[in-house]
Each structure stands twice: as C-alpha cells, then as structure tokens.
Structure 1
Amino acid sequence: MMRSWSGLAVWSAGALALTFSGSYLVFIILLCVGIPVSVWAGGRLWDNALPMILPVVAALFAFAWLLGGSWHGETLQAFKLVWPTMLMAPMLLVLLLFPPASAWFWAGVLTGGVASGVSSLWQRLVLDEVRSEGAGSLNAILYGNFSLMLAVFCLAGLGWAWGYRRSSLWTVALLAGAGGGLLASVLSGTRGGWVTLPALLGVLWWVYGRRFNTTQMLLLVAGAGLALALVIMLPQTGVQQRIAGGLEHAHRYLEGERGVEHGGRVEIWRGAAMLIAERPVYGWGTRGARIELERLGAEGLIDPRVADYAHAHNDILDAWVRRGLLGVLALLMLYIVPVVLFWSGLNDSCPKQRALATCALLLVVGSFGFGLSYSFMFYPVGVTLYTGWLCVMWGLYCASDT
C-alpha cells in the first residue's frame, strides 16, 4: 500500500506538474506521508545517511537564500521561494523506505509530455492563443522549457524501456511523451529552450549514441533534420517568426540601438553586472536591486525601462544581485553536487540506473542552460520542479527496486 502511495506521488511529479494548477501535489502527498513516517522511523535515518547528502545540499541552499533575504528584510519572500527544498529530507526518506517501481516515474513523465502537447494544441487551435503556456504561474517560457525537459526525460527513458518487459509498449508511449513535450516547447515559442536543446541532445548522444550503428545514426540524424525543417518552415508553429525576430533584435542592438526593444536581456545583464560590481558580497535584495536599476537608468547608463523587469533574465546574475556571493555559490552547489552524485551511473550496466542518472544530468544541464537567458529560480515553481524532480530521481536511483 505504501509503495503504491509513494508511486502515485512519483507519477504526479511528472504527470501533473505543467497542466494542472495543483503542480505542488507531489510535495503535498509526500509531505503528508513523509512527516509521520519520518518520526516513526527516526531511528532508521542513519541507515540512509549517504543518500541524505542531496537533502543537506538543498537545505544549505535554502539557508543561504533565507540568510540573503533576511539581510535585506525579505525573509518571507525568500521563504516562499525555497520552502520546498526544506522538505526534501522527509520526501526522500519515504522513497527510500517505501521505494516504488521506477515505472511510476516513466509513466509520469510520458503522461506529462503528452498532456503538455495536447494542452498546447488546444490553446493554439481552439483558444487561438499566440503562445501556449501552463497552469498557474507557468508562463510561456517556463512552460515551454519544462515541457522540453519532459521530452528529453522520455528520450532518456528509452534506455530503460529497452531492457524492461513489454518494451515495445513502453517505447511507443515514451516516444509519444517526447513528441508531446517537444510540440509544447515549439508552440510556446521559447527560444531559450531551443538554444539549449543541442546541449541536451549532446548528453543523450554521449550516454546512448555510441551504442548505435552507422545506419541507425543516419536514420536518426535524417529524421531529426526533417522534423526541424518542418517545424521552422510551417508558419503555424510561429518558430520562423520568433527566430527572425530574435536575429533582427540582436543585429539592431549590435548596430548601436541600445534599448529594451532590441536588446532587453543584454540591457538587464549589463545593469545586473554593474550592481554586482558595486556590491559583490552582500547583494542588493529584490527591492534594492530595483531602486538601483532605476538609478542607473536615470544616470543614462542603461535603458530606464530595465527597472521594470522582474528579474535579471539570468539565474546566476539574478542570484548574485539579490542574494550576494553566498547566494550564487549556493545555487552553483545545487547544480554541481547532483552531477557528482549521479556521474558514476552514466556508465552503469543497469538500464534503470543509467536512465535515471541521464535524466538527472539532463535536468541540471537543461536548468542551467535555460537559466542563462531567463531566471527560473526567481519563481517558486522553478525551484520546486528542479529540486522535486531531483529528489524523485535520487530516491529511485538509491532504491533497489526496478
């Protein structure tokens, strides 16, 4: 019973995250079960000390960001952002004590991929939306990039499916999930995700591609090239217009047209870099950063309209500006430690371990890449999905069940 309950929570982490406003359902489920189970099994915590490295890192991240927020009088705002990371220990303990079959995870991500694709088609074809987006606070950029993440998770899951019973059924289902996630990314118009996609495909190739023969590789490359050409050429997708618009803005900015119309991200990056140079250790906080950006605009150093931006459109710069040096180091630690923990699994002979390790590396590479042009960690849903998916992957990776 408990394994089915934890399996349902793992499934919901992928299936419900993007298309339902209750995307925190997975954490509510695990929290409700995890707290009493943790108290009941408190004496067994030490048995799982090594897997608790990741929750400790998440807790240190939360502490650093809470400290930075408190320094600038923004404790409550920081707490609303990082509270999910504080729950990783009880959630992980539930997964370790009652490990569900990893099939729950793959079923969840493929369901989420298909759901995001269907939702995007509905928004574009029926509701006539310009760009598809997700439920709640998931704007088009967050929605598109997280949909792309579900798609590459499904592709990584093929390595697990090929070694699993009923492999043909799982392969078809995971391919459907990958197609749905990719479609949602395209219809959302998220250019940052498309720029990061080659790095994600590079990870998949590095782990799995070397096992393909020449014929299989040629077929894959030809198929991917054809799909890419269709996506760009069809005007209904909006990709052609988004790419052309981005190139035009970049050209005009490089020609000297300094303004948010043609280089909003570059302008906010410039402003953030100036603020970091002025106060590199303590940062400015959210309110302080806005005031200082207004000052830089009034002095003519940047476009004054930059101060209207909610964040720096770059996770590293945004963390440094708001949280200071300790905050950005904590964020980098949240990226680096999972890579170290999952690294050995990339060459594991067990298909389950290798697929989960690949997913974790894709999550880190994708989140870091997406965060170069947009501040995902500015949003509670960004922190929640990143740390929540890490927790699920790590729990399944450390468990013995297949």
Structure 2
Amino acid sequence: MRVWTGLAVWSAGALALTFPGSYLAFIILLSMAIPVFGWSLTRLWDYALPMVLPVVCALFAFLWMLGSSWHGETLQAFQLVWPTMLMAPMLLVLLRFPPASAWFWAGALSGGVASGVSSLWQRVVWHEMRSEGSGNLNAILYGNFSLLLAMFCLAGLGWAWGYRRSSLWTVALLMGAGGGLLGSILSGTRGGWVTLPALLGVLWWVHGRGLRRTQTLSLVSGGVLALALVIMLPQTGVQQRIAGGLEHATRYLQGERSVETGARLEIWRGAIMLIAERPVYGWGSRESRVELERLGADGQLDPRVAGYAHAHSDLLDAWVRRGLLGVLALLMLYLVPVVLFWTGLGDSCPRRRALATCAVLLVLGSFGFGLSYSFMFYPVGVTLYTGWLCVLWGLYCVPASHADY
C-alpha cells in the first residue's frame, strides 16, 4: 500500500504539467485508496492535529462557495474548489500508509526535467514565442509552476545531503532544478522572475547560512553570471519581455490609459473601483463584467478591460467576485500553512526541514505570483496549491520513527 501512496506522491510533481488534466492524477490515486484506509481505521483521534490543514482547506472551499452563493454562482465555485474537499481523507491515507520522502523529491525532479525538455522542444523545434503547458496551462501558469518545481528541487538538496546515495540524489535534484528554471525562463513569466529573489532568500536562510565564505561567493558569482547570460541571450526572450514591460508601465504612468500600455495596471484600477463600490459582498463573475463594461462605456476605463477573464491579482479577484469573505478566506489559506510549517525551518531533522522549506516556498511563491496574475481563478491553481500543501504536510507529520527517509 505504501508503494501506491508513493506513486501518488510522485505523480503530484512529475505529472503536474505533463498532460491535460494530469495534475489530478495524485488526487485520483489517493482517493482510490480511501476505502482501504476506512477498513483499517481504528484510532481516528490519533490524526486530530494533522487534520488542521485539511480543515482549513475545506473551510476555504466553503467560504468561497458561500461568497459565490450571494451572486447565484455556487456551482461555478464548487467546480473550482472541489479538490480541496478531498484533502482530509487524502491526508489520512498518507498518514496511515506513509510513503518514503524520496517519492516526493523524485516527482519534483521528474516534473522539472520534463518542463525543461518540453520548453526547449517548443522553442527550438516548434519555434513558439513562449513555452506553455498542455490544456489550460498557459505560459504564465506553466512558467510559474515550473519555477516552483525548481525551488522544490533546490530545497530537497538539504534532504539529499543526509540521505544514502547523496551524490546521485544531489545531481538528480540539480538537473530537476535546472529544468524547472529553464521552463520558467522560456515561458517568459515576468511575475515569477520578480518573486525569485524572495524564494532564493528563503533557501539561503534555511540552507545557506552554514556555508563557508568562499562557497557563498562562488554561489553568488555563479548566480549573477547565469542571470546576466539569460538576460543577454536574445534566444531566451527575457530581455525583450523585461524591456517591453518597463516601457508599457512607463507610458501608462505618463497618462496613456490603455491596455496596450499597461494592461494589468488598468485591470487593477478597474478592480479597485468595483471593490470601492461594493466592498463587503462583491459582484460575482457575471455582474462584475457588466459593471466593467459600464465603466468602459462611461470613459472611466479602457472598454477592453471587460474582456479579461479575471483581475490579474488573486487578492483583487477574490474581493471583486466574493467580497470581503472571499479575500479573508484566501489570506487564511496563505497564512495558516506558514504558521504550521514555520518551526520546521529550523528542525534538526533534514527531512522535516526540507519539507517545511518546500511548503514555505510554495506559499510565498503562490502569493507572489498571485500579485500579478489570478492563479486561483483556474482549477489547476487551486488544486496544485492545496494538493501540494496536503502532500507536504502528510510527509512532514510522519514521526521520525515511522519515516523512511
């Protein structure tokens, strides 16, 4: 049974960006094991404390559906958040049949390598302007999830250094990190690049403080050189994306109020206008679009803003659609995991410290990405965020005496 849960944990990273709908693979695999868990369950209260995180996920789903019900959009919200309702039984399966942590790191590095290979293929063979995933994984979602897989691999180095066959795992994880970073670069996701320094700062704070000064200088020099190379090479598209973004933002701030010069800034301005009019209950999806069209017709906004599917900001989008309750529920989903995993960043156990680092990187990265794009608008965004948290928490809560490193 532990092999089955191990395969599920592996698929959470390895298949996250591979095929249309493959991000649901680990949920399907763990859900299939729920009946087996039910037959073997004898002491449910032993799992009371680990259930805190799944309960928070379920509460988030309930609050988002409640916020949407004010606008007659409960079913639409349910289709978005239903995976979070399975986190509790899925976590119980992981706790009852805990797989080795190596399954998670193998999945993360497999997903990172797959992202890098796919991105290269799209750019070199298909001559795509930006690499992206299959199905609904556009370039922004694909690039930022690839970046998170890369960060998971780098966090996993702290685990690998204390594990058997550490050299093999170190090389494999570095390959996964390189593939994920390459996928992010070739996707042209500027929001991920802005968040990257904060993510690297967390990694440094957890794993880098014990390095010697010469090692630190070597890492910093190598990172700066690699960054300069990525920006200077025109084939990556990074230079053009950065220059274009700066030019558009400058022109927008100088008074050119249009989606060509500052699409996100204009969309954010429209969202803030809607929130100011109805801060408690929000507008819902249909009514908010109608109101944006009205503001466009009145000349207060670029009329094309109403054509965008979301507010390009998770916090603003949740507030516009579901009101104050929606944005508070989202903040809860960000803050509670940080509180739960925070002490693990200094844990003496390399396994728990690496898992806690992954979780904090996941929260910080998702929050940072969500400042300039609405990840929680997409089922893949909600599922991977809450699902990865569930997997990490399940592995983290396994006692050292029962854990296979």
Using the size of structure 2 for normalisation, the TM-score is: 0.98
Partner of 1:169: 168
Work out whether 1:105 is the aligned partner of 2:104.
Answer: yes
**CA–CA distance in 1 between the matches of 2:261 and 2:39?**
58
1:296 deviates by 1.1
Work out whether 1:312 is the aligned partner of 2:326.
Answer: no
Alignment gaps of 5+ in structure 2: none
Secondary structure in 1 matching 2:316: helix
Alignment of 1:2-401 (within 5 A): 2-21=1-20, 22-34=22-34, 36-400=35-399, 401=403
**CA–CA distance in 2 between the matches of 1:203 and 1:261?**
35
1:292 deviates by 0.8
1:44 deviates by 2.5
1:42 deviates by 4.8
Q: Which amino acid in 2 is paired with 1:379?
A: Y
1:353 deviates by 0.4
Figure out how many residues of one structure are paired with residues of the other and give that number: 400
Provide, for residues 109-133 of structure 1, a one-character-per-residue CA deviation record: whole Å limited to 9, x for no partner: 0000000000000111111111100
**Percent of aligned pairs sharing the same letter:** 80
Provide, for residues 234-254 of structure 1, a one-character-per-residue CA deviation record: whole Å limited to 9, x for no partner: 111000110110011011111
**CA–CA distance in 2 between the matches of 1:267 and 1:143?**
24
Provide, for residues 167-222 of structure 1, a one-character-per-residue CA deviation record: whole Å limited to 9, x for no partner: 00000000000000000000000000000000100111111111111000000001
**CA–CA distance in 1 between the matches of 2:41 and 2:86?**
15
1:43 deviates by 4.2
**CA–CA distance in 1 between the matches of 2:135 and 2:47?**
35
1:46 deviates by 1.4
**CA–CA distance in 2 between the matches of 1:37 and 1:134?**
34
**CA–CA distance in 2 between the matches of 1:373 and 1:297?**
22
**CA–CA distance in 1 between the matches of 2:328 and 2:250?**
34
Q: Which amino acid in 1 is paired with 2:139?
A: A
**CA–CA distance in 2 between the matches of 1:356 and 1:294?**
46
Q: Which amino acid in 1 is paired with 2:172?
A: A
**CA–CA distance in 2 between the matches of 1:23 and 1:125?**
26
RMSD of equivalent CA atoms? 0.8
Provide, for residues 54-87 of structure 1, a one-character-per-residue CA deviation record: whole Å limited to 9, x for no partner: 0100010000111112211111110110001000
1:40 deviates by 2.3
1:107 deviates by 0.3
Q: Which amino acid in 2 is paired with 1:280?
A: P
Q: Which amino acid in 2 is paired with 1:185?
A: S
Q: Which amino acid in 2 is paired with 1:74?
A: E
**CA–CA distance in 1 between the matches of 2:311 and 2:215?**
43
Alignment gaps of 5+ in structure 1: none
Q: Structure 1 pair 326/42, CA: closer, same or farther in 2 (3 Å)? A: farther
**CA–CA distance in 1 between the matches of 2:349 and 2:283?**
47
Q: Which amino acid in 1 is paired with 2:198?
A: A
**CA–CA distance in 2 between the matches of 1:38 and 1:371?**
36
Q: Structure 1 pair 323/41, CA: closer, same or farther in 2 (3 Å)? A: farther
Secondary structure in 1 matching 2:134: coil
Provide, for residues 244-276 of structure 1, a one-character-per-residue CA deviation record: whole Å limited to 9, x for no partner: 100110111111111000111011111111111
Using the size of structure 1 for normalisation, the TM-score is: 0.98
Q: Which amino acid in 1 is paired with 2:8?
A: A
**CA–CA distance in 2 between the matches of 1:227 and 1:384?**
33
* Between 43-52 and 154-163, the greater mean CA deviation after superposition: 43-52
Q: Structure 1 pair 292/42, CA: closer, same or farther in 2 (3 Å)? A: farther
Provide, for residues 23-62 of structure 1, a one-character-per-residue CA deviation record: whole Å limited to 9, x for no partner: 211111111112x134324542211000000010001000
**CA–CA distance in 1 between the matches of 2:129 and 2:289?**
30
**CA–CA distance in 2 between the matches of 1:63 and 1:28?**
21
1:163 deviates by 0.5
**CA–CA distance in 2 between the matches of 1:38 and 1:104?**
20
* Contact 2:37-2:96 within 8 A present in 1 as well: no
Q: Which amino acid in 1 is paired with 2:23?
A: S
Q: Which amino acid in 2 is paired with 1:123?
A: Q
**CA–CA distance in 2 between the matches of 1:44 and 1:233?**
59
**CA–CA distance in 2 between the matches of 1:293 and 1:111?**
43
